[in-house]
Structure 1
Amino acid sequence: MKKTSTRLADGRELIYYDLRDDAVRDAVDRRPLDPAGLVHSEIRHDRLLGDSVAIASHRQGRTYHPPADECPLCPSRGGRMSEIPDSSYDVAVFENRFPSLSGDSGRCEVVCFTQDHDTSFAGLTEEQAALVLAAWSDRTAELARLPAVRQVFCFENRGEEIGVTLGHPHGQIYAYPFVTPRTALMLRSLAAHRERTGGNLFDDVVADELADGRRIVLDTSQWTAFVPHAAHWPYELHLYPKRRVPDLTALDDAARAEFPGVYLELLRRFDRIFDQEGAPGGSPSRGAGEAAEGRTPPTPYVSAWHQAPFGALEGHGVERHDFALHLELFTIRRTSGKLKFLAGSESGMSVFINDVPPEAAAERLREVASR
């Protein structure tokens, strides 16, 4: 992998990650942009719930469903300038032009998985997926060095139903200046479990799922994927490396080597869950806006890496190495043509109601395995 860092016209950082060591990235962004420092976000604390809210009014003006020939994530070609000044790229990461977090409030980055506008992550090769993993790991390490950053969150939102406004295959990275509420809950449960049993909660959850077996979707030499016992979403997968590590930077070579094949298989199964024919064979490379004849559109999903916060965790009662890196992949689609909406119970009281039994979801995800 070759890494090349440069600057966009407004001063934001852009990093190219290339498969070839001889790649040259010297294109210049010539767009007339105002300095990026004019954009600010604010973190406000909710005294009742104890969590934080990012106030980012400038995001009201962000790019919204542009036509494919005006996509800001495609390479710059034919005189049309985009966020990527070069005419081609493998993986590109840049500071978000419309960030939810900025300055002392953290940092937001966009990760372009490929220059191909009409594919999806599931359509990447294993070599391309490995490069994305390398970029996630590198950005985690770099962002963790920023004084204000406590937690790094790599994720992908896919599909208009999720709220995606750019169809190009891409994800984001949020570098938070605090420990996120969801992670704080995990740390609290982790500490309570250790106090009660002396064991590690993450290790015990994975061991219990393997012992039960009904919700296991994929189990390889380096990774285990399962539908959790108390899944919140209609189809939800958790993916853990066999060796517990706190973050992406700590994955060993064996886990890195096996990840692309495992992850691509899981994404392709997600795209086949709702196919009317019920059998494997749905195209794994369909783009976000196209569907194969006779099948439902590609499955909308959120794919989220959960990593340990950086810095001391004394107030949470655990050590950083107690946390287990894992990926959570879920869809809001509960059946063909129907979505799971977060209504009164979920939105008002944070009590989820799942229409799909986790055992049934796991069985379906096994049924649509690649042949």
Structure 2
Amino acid sequence: MSSETTQPNRNRPHRRYNPLRRSWVLVSPQRTARPWQGETTKPAAPQRIAYDPSCYLCPGNKRSGGQVNPQYDGVFVFDNDFAALMPGEPESLVGEPDDLLRAEAETGICRVVCFHPDHSLTLSQMQPADIVKVVEVWQQETVELGSRPEISYVQIFENRGAMMGSSNPHPHCQIWASGHVPDEPLAETLAQREYFLKHGTTLLDDYLKREQQSGERIVCENAHFVALVPFWAVWPFETLVLPKSRLGSFADFTPEHSAALADILKRLTTRYDNLFQVSFPYTMGFHQRPTDGESYPEWTFHAHFYPPLLRSAEVKKFMVGFEMLGMPQRDITPESAAERLRGLSEVAGG
């Protein structure tokens, strides 16, 4: 059955299914015509400085925990001084099993990855060769942490900008390696497994083929990766980065994959910056197969970008009301969001 015969009238309210999460999102395109009295101005650009003596991530500076950073000139990785997870043997919690009040011990390792010594940079402003070095570290950390018997999942993520809760503008991300598979990748595992068992093919590989046929939600691509606005996107300018070949994890990367991912990340984040002429805030993270020693033939490596901005550099989307109590909802369609991103320059400030 063709996609044209299955899609609803996109100009009227409808809901779209996310097969990766097995959930729905309400799309209300008619609401874009409603009056808007909120702020739409662009904030003043922050002063760019290559070194901040008060930054606990800059080379040579003392961190909050008392340790002193080396004078690093590339990618710098260290164990988080205020980690959300702690290594060691899990302690059993006191109490009998309970269907209502249930708790389990969790162990793990949390690390910080500084992308570059220059305090003023973001992924969009870094040189491609420097981003490749970051991707290579993501691969190394996935392999090293994932090889530990007590680790079942390696979650790499970046919170970019104060609007997304980033406590420091220095270019960096975090890695949380946990003893259990977290809820989001666990839900994706179950959905991908169900699809694989039913069809004998992988969910996201088949989905990408559908997107390549239409092209209307694709933002940019290269030889190995595609960035697109997913059919089921929740956030206004949400994107999904998918591989064109079978990849289940950073552990499967070749040097060509690393260079291609670096390229697509720079091109996509530059488009984001050019959308509202501001250093674009987002939460970005990679989902990959668990590292608990089991086989996951259903898994496709991918990246999620969740940017909050809606109408301008200062107007963000809030998940409130019906969205907290009912289901997610968006006004602009994924197709119009993709068209807008696709039309932006990949040159900084363009």
TM-score, with structure 1 as normaliser: 0.70
Say if 2:64 is the partner of 1:97: no
Q: How much has 1:82 moved relative to structure 2?
A: 7.1
Write the letter of the residue equivalent to 2:85. L
State the partner residue of 2:331: 355
Match of 2:238 in 1: 236
Q: CA deviation at 1:83?
A: 4.8
What is the rounded CA distance, in whole Å, between the counterparts of 2:133 and 2:68 in structure 1?
Answer: 18
Stretches of structure 2 lacking an aligned partner (at least 5 in a row) = 1-50, 89-106
Q: In structure 1, what residue type is equivalent to 2:77? A: V
CA distance in 1, matches of 2:300, 2:113: 23
Q: Which residue of 1 aligns with 2:321?
A: 344
Range moving further from structure 2, 234-243 or 130-139: 234-243
In the TM superposition, residue 77 of structure 1 has moved relative to its aligned partner by 6.0
Partner of 1:338, secondary structure, is coil
**1:161 match: secondary structure:** helix
Determine the structure 2 residue equivalent to 1:308: 289
Q: Partner of 1:255: helix, strand, or coil?
A: helix
Q: Root-mean-square deviation (CA), in Å?
A: 2.2
The amino acid across from 1:324 in the alignment is T
**Aligned partners of 1:196 and 1:155: how far apart in 2?**
31
Please tell me whether residue 332 in structure 1 is matched to residue 334 in structure 2: no
Task: Give yes or no for contact 1:223–1:239 (8 Å, CA) kept in 2.
Answer: yes
Whole-Å separation in 1 of the counterparts to 2:194 and 2:170:
42
Q: Give the aligned partner of residue 186 of structure 2.
A: 184
Shift of 1:225: 1.3
* TM alignment of 1:65-144, pairs within 5 A: 68-76=52-60, 83-104=67-88, 105-144=107-146
For residue 298 of structure 2, what is the aligned residue in structure 1?
322
> What amino acid maps onto 1:298 in structure 2?
S
Shift of 1:160: 0.4
User: For 2:85 and 2:61, how far apart are their aligned partners in 1?
Assistant: 30
Q: 1:113 is aligned with what amino acid?
A: F
Pairwise CA distance, 1:274:
1.6
Output the CA distance in 1 between the equivalents of 2:276 and 2:159.
18
- Larger RCO of the pair (alpha carbons < 8 Å, separation 6+): 2
> Where does residue 170 of structure 1 map in the other structure?
172
> 1:225–1:237: 8 Å Cα contact kept in structure 2?
yes
For the structure 1 residues 244 and 196, does the alpha-carbon distance in structure 2 shift closer, same or farther, using more than 3 Å as the test?
same
Structure 2 residue matching 1:324: 3-state secondary structure: coil
- Paired position in structure 1 for 2:15: none
Q: Alpha-carbon deviations, 1:228-282, whole Å to 9, x = none?
A: 000011111111121121111211232222222221011100111123xxxxxxx
Tell me the secondary structure at the aligned position of residue 261 of structure 1.
helix
Contact (CA 8 Å) 1:154, 1:304: kept in 2 or not?
A: yes
Q: Separation in 2 of the partners of 1:369 and 1:272?
A: 7
Distance in structure 2 (CA, Å) of the matches to 1:222 and 1:124: 20
One-letter amino acid of the counterpart of residue 165, structure 2: G
Tell whether the 8 Å contact from 1:236 to 1:331 is kept in structure 2 after alignment.
Answer: yes
8 Å contact kept, 1:88–1:115: yes
Q: Which amino acid aligns with 1:328?
A: H
> What TM-score comes out, normalization by structure 2 length?
0.74
Hey, what's the Cα distance between the residues in 1 that align with 2:185 and 2:250? 16
* SS of equivalent to 1:332: coil
User: Contact 2:74–2:115 (CA<8 Å) still a contact in 1?
Assistant: yes
1: CA distance, partners of 2:113 / 2:324 = 29
Q: Contact between 1:234 and 1:334, CA under 8 Å: does it hold in 2? A: yes
Shift of the 95–203 alpha-carbon distance from structure 1 to 2, 3 Å rule, reads same
Distance 1:71 1:206, change over 3 A: same
Q: Describe the superposition over 1:20-47 as per-residue Cα deviations: whole angstroms up to 9, x where unpaired.
A: xxxxxxxxxxxxxxxxxxxxxxxxxxxx
Output the amino acid matched with 1:310: T
Amino acid at match of 2:284: S
Matched residue, 1:147 = 149
Number of the residue aligned with 1:212? 214
Task: Return 338-347 or 133-142, whichever deviates more.
Answer: 338-347
Instruction: Indicate the SS of the match to 1:117.
Output: coil
- Equivalent residue number for residue 252 of structure 1: 254
Change (3 A) 1:83 1:348: farther
8 A contact 2:226–2:243 mirrored in 1 = yes
How far apart are residue 158 of structure 1 and its match? 0.4
**What is the CA deviation profile of residues 61-90 of structure 1, one whole-angstrom value per residue up to 9, with x for unaligned ones?**
xxxxxx942111001169x99755323421
1:353, distance to aligned residue in structure 2 (A): 1.0
Indicate the SS of the match to 1:258. helix
Alpha-carbon deviation of 1:197?
Answer: 2.6
What CA deviation, in whole Å up to 9, does each residue of 1:159-216 have, x standing for no partner? Answer: 1000111121111001011111111211221122233333221111111111121101
